[in-house]
Amino acid sequence: MKILCVDVGTGTQDILLHDTELHPENGFKLVVPSPTMIVRRRLQAATRAGQPVLLSGVTMGGGPSHWAAEDHLKAGHTLFATPTAARSFNDDLDYLAAQGIQIVSEDEAAALPNEVVRLTLRDFDFAAIRRALAEFCVSLDDLSAVAVAVFDHGNAPPDMSDRKFRFDYIAQRLQADRRLSTFAFAAPDIPPIMTRMQAVEASAADVDVPLLLMDTAPAAVAGALLDGAVNGRVRLIVANVGNLHTLAFRMGPDGIEGCFEHHTGMLDQGKLDSLLYTLADGSIRNVDVFNDQGHGALIIEKEPYIFPDTGFGIMLTGPRRSMLAQSSLCPYFAAPFGDMMMAGCFGLLTAVAAKLPDLAEPIWTSLQGGHGKPPWEI
């Protein structure tokens, strides 16, 4: 059985073709520029050439592509965008129009002159992945499922902070289910507010097997928990220190005990250490994280997490985890099946097992060497 997993980040998209008949270390992998970085590079080329640009397609991740769009406008060049593509940068189209982006309908976009550079926005390009792997004689014709992880702020109402909206969504999911798989959805079950996940589903029309979507940070944490260093521990703090966002979970025998989410760019070792300490002892407050321009914090179980006297105190994953290399928390850098970059993809596999139960047994057998599930019901 083969499952394609794609973890779409800010810097890279990490791709794993997992074959349950092989050891996980033998799965085929690609680490390539993220979709938003690809759009950024193409926008920068158009800016250097002084060419007008049209952005069309679906809503995708912003960040680098948005910054390149702003630079294009600052350089005095024209930027058109269809409504769905423009929402990659902000859900408020009037705000984007005020910044200089010309919002056009699909018909208006089709009528633009040929000299306008056309860029199609999407987080997931199944055809491109298929072509890339085909160059190495690897076929995707026999897949059993496809799983994709993206960071989705959700479609916040105009009068509501998208940071608050995002964390309210996290809290609501954990009220219903304290497993990490609460942040994963089979395609038909994606919440309407999760517009980026909905856009991935729309981009996957050429996928004819079950499709699963998941939030990136919980996927990375779920994958990190497959690292053998966990060694049966039933309480642990795991943090994904991403390029743009940091999300930390306190895990316990009954699932997630608490969490916080902040912007990585606003953190340093001291601040992140402090957040992790307060997550451990239960004193972290949602209002404090939000007022510091983070998303928020939540404590479900009041019993403090006591850092062990020996061994590591926290487990880290994510491309910015080196921020805590000298931390007094004795961090352990997770590398599930020898590869930190694939943590999100391995976490996606656990979510497929949770949400598509017909595939669960071969997935867990391949990941656990036949020894059953890990300590947590992921």
Does residue 308 have a pLDDT over 70?
Answer: yes
Q: Which residue has the tokens 């960071």?
A: 151
Strands (E), 264-346: 296-299, 314-317, 331-333
Domain ranges of the chain: 2-32+126-220+343-367, 35-121, 228-334
Count CB neighbours of 21 within 10 A. Answer: 9
Burial readout 352-374 (b: 16 or more C-beta within 10 A, e: otherwise) = bbbbbeebeeebbebbeeeeeeb
Average of per-residue pLDDT values in the chain: 94
Measuring CA to CA, which residue among 243, 282, 240 is closest to residue 261? 240
Give the per-residue pLDDT at 166.
95
Give the per-residue pLDDT at 370.
47
CATH topology of domain 228-334: Nucleotidyltransferase; domain 5 (3.30.420)
Give the per-residue pLDDT at 376.
55
Give the per-residue pLDDT at 118.
98
Measuring CA to CA, which residue among 301, 231, 220, 302 is closest to residue 261? 220
Task: Please tell me if the domain spanning 35-121 has the same topology as the one spanning 228-334.
Answer: no
Does residue 377 have a pLDDT over 90?
Answer: no
Distance CA 26, CA 24 (A): 5
Residue 309: band (very low, low, confident or very high) from pLDDT cuts 50, 70, 90:
confident
Burial readout 288-322 (b: 16 or more C-beta within 10 A, e: otherwise) = ebbeeebbbbbbbbeeebebeeeebbbbbbbbbbe
* Average of per-residue pLDDT across 113-136: 97
- Could you give the angle at the alpha carbon of 180 between the alpha carbons of 60 and 196, nearest 5°? 10
Q: What long-range pairs does 69-77 form, CB within 8 A, spacing at least 24?
A: 69/43, 69/101, 70/99, 71/43, 71/44, 71/47, 72/43, 72/46, 72/47, 73/99, 73/100, 73/101, 75/47, 75/50, 77/46, 77/47, 77/50, 77/51, 77/52, 77/53
Give the per-residue pLDDT at 159.
85
Give the per-residue pLDDT at 331.
96
Segment 25-84, tens digit of pLDDT: 999 999 999 999 999 999 999 999 999 999 999 999 999 999 999 999 999 999 999 999
| 3-state helix vs strand vs coil in the chain, percent to 5 | 40, 25, 35
Q: What long-range pairs does 186-192 form, CB within 8 A, spacing at least 24?
A: 186/210, 186/211, 186/212, 186/355, 186/356, 187/211, 187/212, 187/213, 191/154
CATH topology of domain 35-121: Rossmann fold (3.40.50)
Give the per-residue pLDDT at 368.
82
Measuring CA to CA, which residue among 276, 257, 284 is closest to residue 178? 257
